Structure 1
Amino acid sequence: MTCAQLLLQLLRRCYGIDTVFGIPGVHTVELYRGLEGSGMRHVTPRHEQGAGFMADGYARATGHPGVCFIITGPGMTNIATAMGQALADSVPMLVISSVNRRDTLGLGQGRLHELPSQQQTLAGVSRFSHTLLAPDNLPEVLARAYAVFRGTRPGPVHIEIPIDLFDARVTPPSHWHSPVWYPAAPAPEGITTAARWLHDAQRPLVLLGGGCVDNPETARTLVERLDAPTVTTINAKGVLGHDHPLDLGANAALPAVRELARDADVILAMGTELGETDYDVVFDDGFELNGRLIRIDIDAEQLARNQPVSLGLVADAGLAMTALLAAFPDTVPRGGQARAANVRDTLALRDSPDLAPFVPLFDTLRSALPDAILVGDSTAPVYAANHLVSQPVPRRFFNASTGYGTLGYGLPAALGAQLARPDLPVVALVGDGGIMFTLAEMATAVEERLPLVILLWHNGGYEEIRRYMDANGVARLGVDIQAPNFATLAQGFGCLSTRVNDPASLVNALDSRPLDGPLLIEVDANAWVGP
């Protein structure tokens, strides 16, 4: 078979890939030979950045890598932003691209789509970027990618294949199988020390990040045994379930949670970067930990970042939690629920002037679509949802306000999530500014007949930046942008649309949403918030 055929067979038969996102080009035509009938669904976005965001949403909704087929040069620079977001949030993504012929690489001859070094350009937004120089090496390189996805901190992997190799003959493997990868287990001595510190603590605190999403029951049992208030970051929403009495949510930047953190004598942080966009969204470096910090992460380097660590364990969060549970057969009462309740009462999030207008929005969504996956762009309702929303299980809430913080993520990522989970409703939370970055992907949603709800918060421009300018005494320039008529645009794409101003009209719109295509619900922000 050819190298391109081998790639398709490996993806489907060894790694179970069922969906590929990509835009065909003259450099990748041979890659598409044999895709029909392969058992893999091909989804055509309208821009390579959309392909990357779709793969990201697919991966976050399932835990399985999203796969993209991308052309040489501009295709790769287009997808680089999406790879940067996936890298920042540790999302598994496999990007397969073409590159110019082997005998022309690095010569600068001005060939179609040529970059001085495509591999080096993409290395900065990937866990690794590899140029395939011999087709027989393809199984090994793919295995390396899955070793990253399954055995260490995941993220995007880029494999580029020179166009003269796609139709090169290669001997297929005698056995079609993929390796079984097990992540690192914690050192027993470290677990013993961590358990002793946690047992002796008077005021323990737990910090759970996105690295814990595959082990919600274990995480819930552990924090209950420790009787410890727990911060669940944006990417860890749902790990403890709906409104758990120990869950403080993603509110580590707020004063009451910061005070609790400063007062904690032992802190257990698992699968979390302890990064700015989770713990310091007010950007003043005010999240301080004075107690002993026990840190567990699959990435050894991460143990030394952001906060001084007292005990570091390189390990998978799930394996570490299971090991710690063995040391806590019973609950060690420390008044954790009361401490957490006091913090929540002090926060009074639903009464906060900044958040209160969004309370009926998310109450309505929760009532009408209780099982929905909420996928957000960087927009006002998403910033509020980071504090207000509680989900029943993980992988039901994610957005681009963390890490890389790119605009344009919400619509295509929600599309990817809907493809991955057709059994669940999916809501894209977008703003009138951000949706313009990837508006063309509405065509993809219509083409794929996806019952996606696109909730568009229309506040007439870049509201968050307006506030920053006002707060810093900067004239409002470039933020009061003109918006198109979204109803007319939706009609042009063949997408149904409606406008709502209040919870009652939102309920009616959700109740009558189509099941064979997307629905754009435009929310007039000024009318919703009121005087």
Structure 2
Amino acid sequence: MRPFGAYVVECLAANGVDHVFGIPGVHTVELYRALPGSPIRHITPRHEQGAGFMAEGYARVTGKPGVCFVITGPGLTNIATAMAQAYGESLPMLVISTVNPVGAMGSGAGHLHELPDQRQLMRQFTAFSHTILDIAEFDTVLARAFAVFSASRPRPVHIEIPVDLLVRDSSGLGAARAISPIAPPGPNAAAVSEAVEACARASRPLIVAGGGSKAAAGAIARLAGLLDAPVLMTTNGRGVLSDADPLAVPLNPGYDAAHRLLAHADLVIAVGTELGPTDFDDTLPAVKSMRPKVIRIDLDPEQICRGLPADIGIISDARLAVEALCDGARQREAGQGAERVRATLGDFETGLSARTRAGLHLLNTLRDTLPDVIIVGDSTQPVYSGCLGFAASTPSSFFCSATGYGTLGYALPAAIGAKLGNPSRPVVCITGDGGIQFTLAELGSAVEADARLIVILWNNQGYGEIKSYMQGRDIEPLGVDIFTPDFRKIAEAFGWRWDKAARPEVLRQCLSMACAHQGSTVLEIDEAAFLEAFPA
């Protein structure tokens, strides 16, 4: 006899899943029966929210779905925030949960972990949620999930399995099979032809690259060169052009300098971006009034209709569409594009606050000191600076939770997932003294998983950003000056090395020592002391 729970594990392994994040419970133990003999590595977080964030970090750097096993009821409610973050960031995540037995689910009788309707909760932040009522349908539902991940806008998928089905004999289902991959759609030839003509007529073209453009980085660099077009990268699009490219504009599109660049373009080619308010603030109406020609490339037809309306909409995989534009575009004479970039970046650097300059200095030092580093950020001061204007070297080498859903506690578990997904690269987590306390216990998970990290702990003794916001609105700060623990003792209790970068000039040395250490390091930075080197 082969229990259905074992068949689920075999199907995941057959389809390239190599990590599963989860905390075993009495409702999920049958999913664990076959894990020890499988090629799948199980990672145990200290909270299901951490499991979800780990899956996100893993998905960011690998492009593969992050997979989680969670129990009925509280397992799902605990991971819900991470799933909502993944939904907002368009990341592939597969959450397999249990549910009470057939005939008992939603009964209101008071069964362990009972919710009235788990799927109703999951529908808010998934591409779809499905309850397995017949073990023979699992293959089809899993294929649907992988189709979402590979051929449409990737978002979380939830599959729930009644606990009584996990012990059902699945021998009659045969061997687990690999799912035939479904290719994403390519561009419509007529739309591409129209877009090529628009490119030929434009004198001030601009490319806006979002998170959905990362796999098209090479094609975008080629198109930018052909059109002599600056590439304005949203936070999730950073690194699509490298920090050394003269056409790269790594700025928040809503910032004044970037907004002026956008508003004065006569052609905007938006690739894989929502053109949403977390990147553009309230600047899009002004751009719309300038009436540039707008080409939008996106997998999601509904998204093309939001934000800045498209004159030419191309529903397609970003790489395929941009390559098609490259094939039709004519080479322009270089010069104006790079000048527009230099003017924009010079404009940005004028009048930056001390805190923003300090944050950018920190991020630039990480990039320049640690080759091929992956920087994972929480919602904290240096990361906000990075969202404004940090130039990442490669796609997915700088990402954070400060856009979209905007949760706290993201960076540490997401950095663990990123390190597990790409163990050969250095991974740095940047978090605040407030944010890290959301998922502080995941320090233990990192040690257990041998995920060696550097955590930059930006300490301003509370929720500094919210405090400043309250003061700016003439609200007496309340609830933001929280107790600050001794992070050195906490780090050492979890088996981490602790160090302190008191001044910017010692940061490189501290990073070198952290890299030489065989384990993980918490590098604490006191904001007030660090900012002394950046006078207003």
TM class by shorter-chain length? over 0.9
What pairs up with 1:463-474 in 2 under 5 angstroms? 463-474=464-475
Q: Is the 8 A contact 1:208 1:272 kept in 2?
A: yes
2: CA distance between counterparts of 1:318 and 1:140?
A: 28
Displacement after TM superposition at 1:370 (Å): 2.4
- The residue aligned with 1:327 is 328
2: CA distance between counterparts of 1:297 and 1:367?
A: 33
- The residue aligned with 1:179 is 180
Which structure is higher in helix share? Answer: 2
Q: Is the 8 A contact 1:53 1:413 kept in 2?
A: yes
1:294/1:63 Cα in 2 relative to 1: closer, same or farther (>3 Å)? same
Larger CA deviation: 285-294 vs 321-330: 285-294
Please state if 1:305 is matched with 2:336.
no
- The residue aligned with 1:529 is 531
Q: Is the 8 A contact 2:214 2:396 kept in 1?
A: yes
1: CA distance between counterparts of 2:419 and 2:350?
A: 30
Please state if 1:124 is matched with 2:124.
yes
Q: Is the 8 A contact 1:350 1:356 kept in 2?
A: no
Please state if 1:455 is matched with 2:456.
yes
Please state if 1:479 is matched with 2:487.
no
Aligned amino acid, residue 215 of structure 2: D
2: CA distance between counterparts of 1:516 and 1:237?
A: 30
Question: Where in structure 2 are there 5+ consecutive unaligned residues?
Answer: none
What pairs up with 1:61-72 in 2 under 5 angstroms? 61-72=61-72
CA-to-partner distance for each residue in 1:441-476, whole Å, 9 max, x for gaps? 001011122220010000111111111111111110
CA-to-partner distance for each residue in 1:24-45, whole Å, 9 max, x for gaps? 0000011100100201100000
Identity percentage over the alignment? 45
SS of 1:166 mapped into structure 2 = helix
Larger CA deviation: 67-76 vs 1-10: 1-10
CA-to-partner distance for each residue in 1:141-200, whole Å, 9 max, x for gaps? 000000000000001100000001101112234672211211011110000001101110
- The residue aligned with 1:503 is 504
Aligned amino acid, residue 28 of structure 1: T
2: CA distance between counterparts of 1:287 and 1:471?
A: 25
- The residue aligned with 2:520 is 518
- The residue aligned with 1:155 is 155
Displacement after TM superposition at 1:392 (Å): 2.0
SS of 2:242 mapped into structure 1 = coil
Q: Is the 8 A contact 1:99 1:162 kept in 2?
A: yes
2: CA distance between counterparts of 1:145 and 1:324?
A: 30
Q: Is the 8 A contact 2:462 2:480 kept in 1?
A: yes
Displacement after TM superposition at 1:367 (Å): 3.0
Q: What TM-score comes out, normalization by structure 2 length?
A: 0.95
2: CA distance between counterparts of 1:475 and 1:350?
A: 28
- The residue aligned with 1:101 is 101
SS of 2:167 mapped into structure 1 = coil
Aligned amino acid, residue 141 of structure 2: V
Q: What TM-score comes out, normalization by structure 1 length?
A: 0.96
Q: Is the 8 A contact 2:457 2:523 kept in 1?
A: yes
2: CA distance between counterparts of 1:476 and 1:114?
A: 40
Q: Is the 8 A contact 2:496 2:519 kept in 1?
A: yes
Q: Is the 8 A contact 2:354 2:531 kept in 1?
A: no
CA-to-partner distance for each residue in 1:74-101, whole Å, 9 max, x for gaps? 0100000000000000010000101100
Displacement after TM superposition at 1:515 (Å): 4.9
Q: Is the 8 A contact 1:18 1:40 kept in 2?
A: yes
2: CA distance between counterparts of 1:411 and 1:357?
A: 21
- Superposition RMSD in Å: 1.6
CA-to-partner distance for each residue in 1:364-396, whole Å, 9 max, x for gaps? 212321211000000001011123422221111
Aligned amino acid, residue 139 of structure 2: P
- The residue aligned with 1:22 is 22
CA-to-partner distance for each residue in 1:275-314, whole Å, 9 max, x for gaps? 111122xx57666232111111001110111122211111
2: CA distance between counterparts of 1:326 and 1:486?
A: 55
Larger CA deviation: 442-451 vs 171-180: 171-180
Q: Is the 8 A contact 1:62 1:395 kept in 2?
A: no
SS of 1:129 mapped into structure 2 = strand
SS of 2:457 mapped into structure 1 = strand
CA-to-partner distance for each residue in 1:94-114, whole Å, 9 max, x for gaps? 001011001112211110000
Aligned amino acid, residue 287 of structure 2: E
SS of 1:104 mapped into structure 2 = coil
1:523/1:109 Cα in 2 relative to 1: closer, same or farther (>3 Å)? same
Q: Is the 8 A contact 2:200 2:330 kept in 1?
A: no
2: CA distance between counterparts of 1:351 and 1:117?
A: 50
